[in-house]
Every structure is written in C-alpha cells, then in structure tokens.
C-alpha cells in the first residue's frame, strides 16, 4: 500500500483523462455493446455494503455482470471478489488487472471501457467525488445513501445530478423505501388525502450499538479511519446522516417539501472511547416546515435502551405509519406481498436504463442528506440553522487535507455552544 499513488485534495477531485473519455457521448449512446443491453458493473467500495449492493444488482436483473472492483485496500477487493465468485461464477469477470486499490481506485474503475454502470458504496465522505467521476466518465450510477457529509459535498452531488440529466444518465440512491411497495402505497394514500391535511410528524432510528474496528499495529491513521468509518464525521457524517437519513427522507416524501428551519441537540454520553472517533451517540432535531408543520426527529445508538425505527405522519383525519398502516377515519393496513426492496431498487434502475428513461434521484437524496447534515450541525454547535443558509452559504467541508496513507488529524468531539458554525 505504501507504493500506491498519493494524492493531494486537488488531484483527488479531478478525474483522469481516460475516465472522462466517455463524457462526450450524449445520453445512453455507446453505453451498450451493439445489439445488446448488457449491464456491466464496476464497484467502488468493496466492504460489506458494497459487496451486498453488487449482489443485489446481480440478483435484480438478467444480463448483468461485474467487470471491475475498486477499494482503498487490497483485502477488501479480494474478499469481495471471492464472495461474488462463489455466488455468481459465470457473471463475475474481474481479472487481476481490473481489481484496483489505493485512493485513486475509483478513477481506474471509471476508466474501464466495458463498465456502463457504477455501484459506489465507499464511505459517504467519498461519494460526491465518486459520483462526479462516474458522471464525467459517462456512466450510470447506483450510489448508497447518504450521498455526502457536508454542505459542500451536497452541492457537488446536485451539480453532478444536473450533469447526469443533461447526458441522459441514471442515478439511483440506496433509499430502498422509495422502491418498496408498502411505502409506495402508503404515500399514494397520503397524497390522496386519506389522513387529511398533514399537521406534524415524527421519525426515529433508535437502536443499539454497531460494529467497531480497532486500530491494528502498523495501520496508518487515515486507513484506520476509513476502515472504522462509522465513527468519524468526515467519513460517515455521524449516524444521524449515515443512518437516520432514511426516515428523514420518508418525512420529506410525505410532506412533499423541505424544512425552513432546523434546531437540534445531541451528545456523546456512552460511546466515549477513542475507537468511537468524534461522533455523537444521540440526537434530537426539530424540523420546521411551511404552514406551521413541525417534525420531531430522534436517533440513538446505545445498547440497553428502547429501540424504535419508524416514521409517523399525523394528519387531520388520521395517522400514517411507515410500516404500512393508517389509523383514523379511513383505516388501512398493507397486507400484500413484498419483494426485497434492496433488490427492487436495482431492478428499477436497470429497467429505466434499458427503457431509455433513466431515473435520476440525485437531487432528492442530496436534499434529504442535507436535512440530516443540518441537524448534526445544529446539534454540534447549539445553533439554529435556516435551510437557505445551510444550502447556499455554509462553507463547511470535512474533506481531509490530503488523501494519502499517513496521519490525518480530525476535529475534536463537538461541544455545543463552543464549536463554531461554518
């Protein structure tokens, strides 16, 4: 790994000339072999979620192959390759010269001519850069949520989404609820007025602790942070962004709009050891929407506490629950069959590409990601934040000074009332 190319931040944001070759191709032209609708996938980020997303993509549709793999470190690439080969030996064609490592692995994956769809599931802090490289290279994209960790990254994702729309390229995000039958039916009923006018909502992601990766002897600081990425704000955005964005996105979907003001609190009361990086372990946020609608948002990762993962939309005639039920004047409960939404989102993406009507979820998930980022920023600083300011004026950029193996000092744990709002 010491021989891998070291990149400055400026270099990292650029895409290689080879990767941008396909950018001149308008729309979907040239993305498929003549007389074929084969989908050839390059995976960027080969950890558990990246490998899982690649498996979901292969399960979703016929005519899909994995042809390139990229990750920061070799062991993840080789582990992913082994898992994929065991499950799909005839649909994984990734020779050693298309298994890339180092901080520039994403550029090399994008430069593979056969690739026409990128699956990117590297830690969230990398996703704006990986999306830009993919769109510049003329590739369709499935990207995991959240899509950024700071306002600068969100604006980059929106710009890439606009570029994708002009080129006729698809972007689907890993917000599987948007492709899940019970949620789709629930939202149809909400839009049709079955719960009346929405007057408020609550959303929750309260659960126990998650995995943690201890630093090993000889492991550089930045490599450890990337392997232990859940616990650093620059890699994950904190758990309100990395995880709770699902529930916040559902609320935005139901309300059909975005908040005007955000105020939050949170802290780090249980997970205080060094391996938990610099993130909080609990948040409570109030999102103020138009017409006086206020949404209470709660998330926590603490063992031994009450758990709840849910969305609750309150109307004048009833209450809608994300698990597929309405209580009130016109009660309803979802009782149909439910396909795996993690697979359906890939099927929907691929069907849209083959139909020449590419889905583009980029702006929508960028805006929901920004809601979660604003909640974190408010809790970290103790300040109230307006949507207009965070979307258009905030200069917060959590990117490291250099993307290279070695030291990478991070911000200390935030202290509300003292941590500055940037």
Rounded Cα gap, residues 254 and 164, in angstroms:
26
Encode pLDDT of 200-224 as tens digits: 999 999 999 999 999 999 999 999 9
Average pLDDT over residues 327-333: 98
Is residue 307 predicted with pLDDT exceeding 80? Answer: yes
DSSP category for residue 204: E
Q: 255 near 198, Cβ under 8 Å?
A: yes
Rounded Cα gap, residues 101 and 367, in angstroms:
31
pLDDT for 291 equals 86
- Which has the minimum average pLDDT: 35-49, 156-170, 248-262, 374-388? 35-49
Is residue 35 predicted with pLDDT exceeding 90? Answer: no
List C-alpha distances in Å: 247 to 199, 213, 253: 17, 26, 10
pLDDT for 253 equals 98
pLDDT for 110 equals 98
Q: Which domains does the chain have, with CATH numbers?
A: 7-177+344-361 (3.40.50.720), 182-337+369-393 (3.30.360.10)
Buried b (16+ CB within 10 A) or exposed e, 176-205: bbbbbebbeebbebbeeebbeebeebbbbb
Rounded Cα gap, residues 378 and 384, in angstroms:
6
Classify strands 332-333 and 325-328 as parallel, antiparallel or unpaired. Answer: antiparallel
Is residue 11 predicted with pLDDT exceeding 50? Answer: no
Is residue 124 predicted with pLDDT exceeding 50? Answer: yes
Encode pLDDT of 180-204 as tens digits: 999 999 999 999 999 999 999 999 9
Rounded Cα gap, residues 260 and 384, in angstroms:
11
Local confidence band at 37 (pLDDT 50, 70, 90 cut-offs): confident
Strand partners, 39: 64
Local confidence band at 36 (pLDDT 50, 70, 90 cut-offs): low
Q: 308 near 282, Cβ under 8 Å?
A: no
Is residue 318 predicted with pLDDT exceeding 80? Answer: yes
Average pLDDT over residues 42-47: 98
Taking the model in full, what pTM does it have? Answer: 0.92
Tokens of 376: 């974190």
Q: 245 near 289, Cβ under 8 Å?
A: no
Rounded Cα gap, residues 319 and 335, in angstroms:
18
List C-alpha distances in Å: 88 to 56, 66, 82, 85, 94: 12, 9, 10, 5, 12
pLDDT for 53 equals 98
Whether omega before 146 lies within 30 degrees of 0, making that bond cis, reads yes
């Amino acid at each position: 790994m010491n021989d891998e190319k070291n990149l400055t931040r400026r270099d990292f944001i650029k895409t290689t000339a080879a990767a941008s070759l396909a950018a001149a191709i308008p729309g979907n032209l040239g993305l498929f072999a003549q007389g074929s609708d084969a989908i050839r996938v390059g995976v960027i980020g080969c950890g558990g979620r990246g490998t899982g997303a690649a498996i979901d993509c292969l399960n979703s549709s016929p005519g899909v192959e994995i042809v390139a793999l990229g990750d920061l470190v070799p062991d993840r690439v080789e582990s992913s390759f082994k898992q994929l080969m065991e499950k799909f030996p005839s649909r994984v064609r990734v020779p050693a010269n298309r298994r890339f490592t180092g901080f520039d692995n994403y550029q090399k994956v994008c430069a593979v001519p056969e690739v026409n769809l990128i699956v990117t599931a590297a830690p969230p802090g990398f996703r704006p850069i990986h999306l830009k490289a993919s769109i510049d290279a003329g590739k369709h994209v499935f990207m995991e949520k959240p899509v950024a960790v700071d306002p600068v990254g969100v604006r980059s994702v929106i710009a890439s989404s606009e570029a994708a729309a002009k080129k006729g390229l698809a972007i689907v995000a890993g917000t599987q609820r948007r492709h899940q039958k019970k949620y789709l039916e629930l939202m149809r009923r909400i839009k049709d007025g079955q719960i009346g006018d929405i007057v408020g909502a609550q959303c929750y992601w309260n659960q126990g602790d998650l995995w943690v990766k201890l630093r090993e002897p000889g492991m550089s600081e930045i490599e450890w942070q990337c392997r232990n990425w859940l616990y650093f704000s620059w890699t994950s955005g904190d758990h309100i962004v990395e995880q709770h964005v699902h529930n916040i996105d559902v609320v935005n979907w139901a309300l059909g709009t975005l908040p005007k003001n955000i105020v939050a609190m949170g802290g780090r009361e249980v997970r205080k050891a060094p391996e938990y990086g610099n993130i909080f372990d609990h948040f409570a946020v109030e999102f103020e929407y138009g017409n006086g609608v206020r949404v209470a948002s709660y998330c926590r990762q603490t063992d031994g506490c009450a758990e709840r993962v849910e969305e609750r939309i309150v109307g004048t005639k009833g209450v809608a629950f994300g698990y597929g039920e309405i209580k009130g004047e016109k009660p309803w409960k979802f009782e149909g069959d439910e396909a795996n939404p993690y697979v359906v989102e890939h099927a929907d993406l691929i069907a849209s590409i083959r139909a020449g009507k590419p889905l583009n979820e980029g702006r929508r998930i960028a805006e929901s990601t920004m809601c979660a980022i604003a909640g974190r920023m408010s809790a970290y600083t103790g300040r109230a934040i307006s949507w207009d300011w965070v979307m258009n004026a905030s200069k917060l950029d959590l990117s490291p000074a250099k993307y290279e193996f070695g030291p990478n000092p991070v911000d200390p744990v935030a202290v509300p009332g003292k941590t500055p709002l940037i």
